[in-house]
Structure 1
């Protein structure tokens, strides 16, 4: 079994923490349901226009784990064009 981590920094179209929370909660919930990944907001909790989200998956091979996370990234970009991805890091744990 192999574990892979995807960290994404996003620029959000929100002005308040309440708006940010709604966006982040929606993205995390939909990612969990669609890709069966563990995910959380890892940093930037008090900044309404920025978020750092982490997604983790377990797969039988490194290639499959990275493929799942790449699909997730592509899905997020196409599904939420209002969110701007400013940084992406993928690593094997």
Structure 2
């Protein structure tokens, strides 16, 4: 099973693309290293207050995939610089 999570976030405290990229870079590294997921920024590359992330994991157990994606959301929510606004999970 393939689990694809699309997450949109707002960043209110950043004041430049440099600030945004610093936050996103730390978040992506943490997700990759701790949860072993593939993750990238999908959209809003030139907007410093908004981002859309795509996160993917592959597993043969539905419950494991759901656990991983819930943990991804929990990690994102620990970043005080971000506010998660929209989350969509697709299972293929």
TM-score when scaled to structure 1?
0.91
What are the residue-to-residue correspondences of 1:52-71 with 2, within 5 Å? 52-71=52-71
Match of 1:16? 16
Contact 2:58 2:65 in 1 (8 A): yes
Work out the CA distance in 2 between the residues paired with 1:66 and 1:90.
Answer: 9
TM-score when scaled to structure 2?
0.92
Other structure's SS at 2:25 match: helix
Gaps of at least 5 residues in structure 2 are none
Match of 2:2? 3
Could you tell me how far 1:82 is from its partner in structure 2?
2.7
Structural RMSD (CA):
1.0
Contact 1:44 1:50 in 2 (8 A): yes
Other structure's SS at 1:47 match: coil
Q: Which runs of 4+ in 1 moved over 4 A?
A: none
Gaps of at least 5 residues in structure 1 are none
Contact 2:23 2:81 in 1 (8 A): no
Count residues in correspondence.
91
Match status 1:85 vs 2:84: yes
